[in-house]
Amino acid sequence: MHWQQKIVEEMNSILIANFNLLLLYIMKTQWNKLIRFTLTILFFDFVMTFIYLVVAYDSKEWNGLNDHNDSKIIDKIINRLYYSVNVSTAFGLGPMSPISNILKIITIVQVYITLGIFLSKYSPLRL
């Protein structure tokens, strides 16, 4: 009976070791997917920031911005990046919102592209 117990214990330790390896593999794979998704959205946010800088450089194009809080180029970049991240994460527009129709259309396109990126990465439908 003693040798049978040793065999069962050995098999249990092998199963536990394999299960741990499998769990580590799954965790690593999921983290890689999350990192790739985050970098994709971050890259897209920077592209949209550049578009917002080109299309709406002037603070008069935005509700919530004025010459005081949008005077230097670094302020303009941060404000447009902030807006882009707010739109991409679906947290809402926050204190800034576009005034012109072209900016509203660009914002709508950004929302749909972000949604498409999210669904293509995480949807069981696999668009």
Which pLDDT tens digit goes with each residue over 105-123? 888 888 888 878 777 766 6
Output the CA–CA distances (angstroms, integers) from residue 15 to 8, 22, 111, in the order listed.
10, 10, 46
**103: Cβ–Cβ under 8 A, 6 or more apart, which residues?**
52, 55, 56, 61, 62
Number of domains composing the chain? 1
Q: How far apart are CA 38 and CA 67, in angstroms?
A: 32
In a domain, 46, yes or no: yes
In a domain, 33, yes or no: no
In a domain, 118, yes or no: yes
Q: Helix, strand, or coil here: 62?
A: strand
Residue 127 has pLDDT above 50, yes or no: no
User: Tens digits of per-residue pLDDT, 10-24?
Assistant: 766 776 766 666 666
pLDDT at 93: 61
CATH at residue 83: 1.10.287
Residue 79 has pLDDT above 70, yes or no: yes
In a domain, 16, yes or no: no
**Domain housing 81:** 38-122
Residue 82: pLDDT band with limits 50, 70, 90: confident
Residue 51: pLDDT band with limits 50, 70, 90: very high
Q: How far apart are CA 34 and CA 10, in angstroms?
A: 36
In a domain, 64, yes or no: yes
In a domain, 69, yes or no: yes
> pTM score, two decimals?
0.67
Q: Which H or E run includes 97?
A: strand 97-98
As a whole number, mean pLDDT of residues 89-109 equals 79
Residue with the bigger pLDDT between 75 and 96: it is 75
Other beta carbons within 10 angstroms of residue 58's beta carbon come to 10
Residue-averaged pLDDT of the chain: 78
In a domain, 6, yes or no: no
